[in-house]
Amino acid sequence: MSAYGVHPTRYGNLNNEQLYSMFRESTYGRLGESEKLDLLQETVNRDALEKGEIGAPEVRFADLPANESGNAVNGVINVNRDMAVNGVQSFEYNGQTIQHLIGAYNVESLNTVLHENIHCLQEQVIDGTITIEDAQKNAEYQANSFTTSAVLQDGKYQFGSQYLTGETANGYYCYYFQSTERDAFYGAEEKTAAILNGLIEKYGTEPSFEAYAKSVEATGYQATERAAIERFQNLNFERDINQILQNQYFGTNVQVDKNTETAVKAEMIATHKSLQQQITQMNNLPEKEDVKMSFGPNKPVSLEEYQEFQETQGMQDTAGVGTNEGIQFVESNGVHTDTNAVDAAGVSTTDTGAIDSGVDGGGVGDDGVDNDGDGLDGGMDI
């Protein structure tokens, strides 16, 4: 059942300037858990109204993995309680609980709910609840939901996911620049910057603002785009990724860079395989749960450090993502759609094995994100 609706808060009578001033570290740090929740909810209420969503998502605190700052599904935005309330990342290592302080947790919390609400907007676009004038963006979103298509790779067909979770050596960039995540990262980064600039203009800067800005400079949208272009040697990398997904979804044949196409198709196959494994695991539980896919977890970490985090924790970027039988998926933001009708005949569902993305990995492992904690909402909602 969808949680979109009216969610009143104690801060409904404040103007925007008064509301956003509560994200200053001197104020945010003094708020109790319920006050922080109301602040994030009121921020989402206004953002949803501004974006033209039908109703606003409900914001909740949840006990999420340390590398996941938030997710969204069916009109619910789940925010990592450790991060948003306590300003820490907690994880188990060698039998001990390790806590990493997040210096800019006030800004990270703001960025997270803005990121996730963009996914909620996308959910309503994909399921037809609302319409947008941008036909190109609408097509990109439709081709980037949790649906399945038959991918022709190395002379045979295999099932591939239209949403990419970052499973291959170059998967982080495929994940980051697919249309749903591209717009969530960029849009949240832009609005967070605008809010902070307004606060700085009135109150001056503060350490958390500076830490966040430094992280954006190092690992934000523009920095990640430069890295992707260099890695793939393709100036049109972002455009090509989303055209490849549209070619798959709509059956078109618009020309794209071949190396990028090979990498994206490998990522589609690897993602589908990973999701199927998760379905199997869910079906083997004593009590099955109706769990839907959510848009990629939004990780407040950097590329290299998240790789190290994965190695020590044995965690995948798809942590906390599940599905039910029938393969109706809702991604971290919860875009829920039926799978494409694909004729299973002639489609290989066997183990894809080690998938070569076709792009020199340069020693970078699976979709890393920066785990310094004081930086940008830089990863999968993750």
The H-assigned helical ranges of the chain are 16-20, 25-28, 33-51, 81, 105-126, 135-142, 171-177, 179-203, 207-219, 221-232, 237-250, 258-283, 303-313
Residue 369 is predicted with a pLDDT of: 33
Residue 376 is predicted with a pLDDT of: 34
- Global pTM exceeds 0.75: yes
Average pLDDT, the chain: 81
Q: Indicate if the pLDDT at residue 348 is higher than 90.
A: no
Nearest CA to 177 out of 228, 133, 223, 136 is that of 228
Q: Indicate if the pLDDT at residue 170 is higher than 60.
A: yes
Q: How far is CA 260 from CA 27, 156, 235, 266, 350, in A?
A: 46, 18, 11, 10, 24
Q: What confidence tier does 98 reach under pLDDT thresholds 50, 70, 90?
A: confident
What is the rounded distance in angstroms from the CA atom of residue 41 to the CA atom of residue 45? 6
- Least confident piece of the model among 98-102, 110-114, 124-128, 152-156: 98-102
Q: What angle do CA 297, 369, 47 make, to 5 degrees?
A: 45
Residue 293 is predicted with a pLDDT of: 58
Question: pLDDT tens digits, residue range 175-219?
Answer: 999 999 999 999 999 999 999 999 999 999 999 999 999 999 999
Question: pLDDT tens digits, residue range 275-326?
Answer: 999 888 878 776 555 545 566 544 333 445 434 544 554 433 333 332 222 2
